[in-house]
Amino acid sequence: MRGTLRTREAVRIALRDSGGGVGHGEALPLPGYSADTALQAELALAAAAARARTVGGLALPDDGLAPAAYLNAALVPFDTLLTTTPSARFALECALLGLLAGRAGVSAAQWLAGRRALHQVAVSVLLPDDDSAVAAAGAAAARGHTVLKLKIALPGRSAADEEARIAAVRAAADAASRPGAVRLRLDANGALPPAEVAARLAALAGFGIELVEEPCPAPALRTLPLPWAADESLADPALAAALLARPPGRGPAALVLKPATLGLARCLDLADAANARGLGVIVTHAFDGDLGFAAARALAAALPAPPLPCGLAPHPGLSRRWPNGPVLAAPTAAGLDLPEATVETRS
């Protein structure tokens, strides 16, 4: 995800049960990144609502199912409508999650976790792409954040320029905290040329790099000088399965889970697969609205093992007073945990 976006279109939905319970969801596709548009999501959700009305509502499956299986089973009647509209599916998953967790009197995180204990979640900080990154790095390190994220392979920026920027960020983080206490996470969005990726990453190995998200196009992902995480490549289920099947050392060190693009159920399944293989997991938003952001935070707290520091710091597009510290406490309020609103928003 790169560039600046001033406005986005959202589609909000509500699921209601006969007892007065309600769950809310929101489709907020990210232009240039999401696989669908707001119009496509709106049409899919309208078709799903029409289909639900013809059969007397949404039939809920057996309570004995695991959370991912439950969400998938509940949405089976709408699979043909949602296959190409992941934003619409996520909106339905969020609404269903909020409704079911509220009915059960537990947080959305606890509903997703089932019988597992919830985790506190450490939060990473995405640094700006401009000259303010150095000051932002020092401030974040002083607040106690232990992972700072920088975009690399940016258009118009040379390898030498990027190395100098990373060195300056490293120095600022070390000056504001104990040297080496802060790790740097890089994100190339798959943009490093395959012929250059090994040399480019080797040159950065001395800067305390935690890992590199999606360093190059998926076909070229292999053993690299730095640990790497699969991100955009997870959108293709076949490619994700192939990456997970690789032997240790040749596949990803971690998976980056964006529930807004992958869906909650699939994120839970991928987290289970990562945990079984000893891989790390990072949960991050896709500049979601408040409902999607709440669902992403719930997912991070519900994982089978504590995640790596997650990309869940509040962003300017949110309208509520979200906690903004280096560690998130596990949610406790029933349903999707939304803090108070601070800005009037229009639907």
Asked whether residue 280 falls in the same domain as residue 203, the answer is: yes
Residue 220 resides in a domain: yes
Cα separation of 144 and 72, whole Å? Answer: 38
CB environment 26-50: b (16+ within 10 A), e (fewer): bbbbbeebbebebebbbbbbebbee
Compute CA distances 181 → 209, 239, 308, 311, 329, whole Å. Answer: 11, 34, 15, 18, 21
Mean pLDDT computed over 168-190: 97
Q: What is the pLDDT of residues 35-75, one digit of tens each?
A: 999 999 999 999 999 999 988 888 889 888 999 999 999 99
Query: Do residues 231 and 259 make contact, with C-beta atoms less than 8 angstroms apart?
Result: no
Helix (H) or strand (E) holding 213: strand 209-213
Per the domain annotation, does 2 fall within a domain?
no
CA distances from 85 to 2, 48, 117, 269 (A): 22, 12, 32, 19
Give residue-wise pLDDT tens across range 305-328.
999 999 999 998 888 889 889 999
271 and 132 share one domain: yes
Residue 346 pLDDT > 50: no
CATH number at residue 171: 3.20.20.120
218 Cβ contact partners less than 8 Å away, ≥ 6 residues apart: 190, 232, 233, 236, 239, 243
Q: For residue 58, what is the domain's CATH number?
A: 3.30.390.10
For the stretch 157-177, pLDDT in tens is 999 999 999 999 999 999 999
**Using N-to-C axis directions, what is the helix angle for 290-302 and 86-104, rounded to 10°?**
70
Please report where in the chains the tokens 């992403």 appear, as a residue: 296
CA distance 318 to 279: 31
Q: What is the pLDDT of residues 235-274, one digit of tens each?
A: 999 999 999 999 988 899 999 999 999 999 999 999 999 9
Does residue 35 sit within a domain?
Answer: yes
Residues 172 and 215 placed together within one structural domain of the fold: yes
Please indicate, yes or no, if residue 233 is contained in any of the structural domains. yes
Tokens encoding 192:
């490093």
Q: Tell me if residue 258 is catalytic.
A: yes
Which structural domain range is residue 151 located in?
121-328
Active-site position among 89, 119, 151, 285: 151
Looking at the structure, do residues 94 and 227 belong to the same domain, yes or no?
Answer: no
Which of 258, 266, 285, 297 does the annotation list as catalytic? 258
| Domain C-terminal end among 57, 78, 110 | 110
* Domain end (from 82, 110, 138): 110
Same domain, 56 and 155: no
Structural domain total, the chain:
2
Is 149 an active-site residue?
no
